[in-house]
Each structure stands twice: as structure tokens, then as C-alpha cells.
Amino acid sequence: MKHCLRLLLPALLALGLATSASAQTTVDLNWSLFLTNNDATIQPGDTVRWTWTDSTPHDVFSSDGGFTSSAIFTGIGTMYSVTFPTAGSYPYHCTVHGVGNMNGTITVVAAAPVPALSSPLGMGITIAIAGALVLVLRRRSVAIGTR
């Protein structure tokens, strides 16, 4: 049993270290006239990229002033990106066409913690994932009797 644990522990720790880097995601949104409720839900550190899909001029303006494309851009394929580092709700719109004609909300939600798992066996095993795999082995003493 000890030999199996010596082999298993490094493998599980390596798996945890390999998966510990949180991958950042880029979410693409089309941005064109009369596009309303252009919403996205992302995690902290993710990026949203708006791409102009018509030839009319647009901008991207956060309703609370937290971000803005700073200029009015024209041209199919024009892009503007924002990375959102913290959880929250970020409504935005096009100032050229107004909130009623072009708008959306970016909702940034923190990843839910993964609950710990425990084993009802003689040896308790707790595995939790919070950016890295953590493995805790607790050894219980087991009395072995004779007949």
C-alpha cells in the first residue's frame, strides 16, 4: 500500500501543477447597429473583444465610465478589447447610436470553489482544487487483531 501511495502522490501533484495555470479566455462579440442585449458572462482576467460587423461608425462606452474605446471607429473588422480583472457587472453601449440601439452587459463572476471530497475508508483522502490540486493523506492507525 505504501508503495502505491509513493507512486500515486507524485502523479497527482504533477497533475495539479499542470492544471494550476488559469487559462484566460477571449470572448468575441459582434458590434453593429441595433444590436441590443449583447451580453457575455466571463471570469476575472478574461478579455472581451468587440468586432465591428457593419460599416457604420461605433464606439464602446462603459455606462460607469470604467472603459471606453476613446474614439469612434468605422469599418468592418475593426476591433476593440478590454480585459476585466475583477468580478462585477459592466453595462456598456455605443454613444453614437445610444443605449436603446446598441448595448450590452459584461458580467464577471469569480469561479466557484470546488468542494472537498473525503473518503469514508480507513485512510481519509481529501482532494480540493483551488487553482492547484491539493492532496492530503491522513493515515489512521489500524489495529490488527489475531484470532
Please report, for the chain, the start and end positions of each structural domain, with discontinuous segments joined by +: 2-21+112-138, 26-108
Q: Phi/psi of residue 132, each to 5°? A: -150, 155
Question: Mean pLDDT for each consecutive 10-residue tract of the chain (147 residues)?
Answer: 49 42 82 92 97 94 92 92 96 93 95 63 45 36 43
Angstrom distances, CA of residue 91 to CA of 25, 39, 51, 67, 139: 20, 9, 17, 10, 52
Q: What is the pLDDT of residue 112?
A: 73
d(CA 140, CA 123): 6
Nearest residue to 63 (alpha-carbon basis) of 41, 85, 91: 91
Q: What is the pLDDT of residue 6?
A: 53
Residue with cell 455605443: 94
d(CA 34, CA 63): 17
CATH number for 26-108: choose from 2.40.50.140, 3.40.50.11540, 1.10.1760.20, 2.60.40.420: 2.60.40.420
Phi/psi-derived region of residue 96, left when phi > 0, alpha when psi is between -120 and 50, beta in every other case: alpha
Q: What is the pLDDT of residue 70?
A: 84
Would you say 118 and 124 are in contact if contact means Cβ atoms under 8 Å apart?
yes
Q: Phi/psi of residue 106, each to 5°? A: -100, 120
Q: What is the DSSP string of 53-106?
A: -SSS-B--EETTSS-B-SS-B-STT-EEEEEE-S-EEEEEE-TTT-TTTSEEEE
Q: What is the pLDDT of residue 78?
A: 94
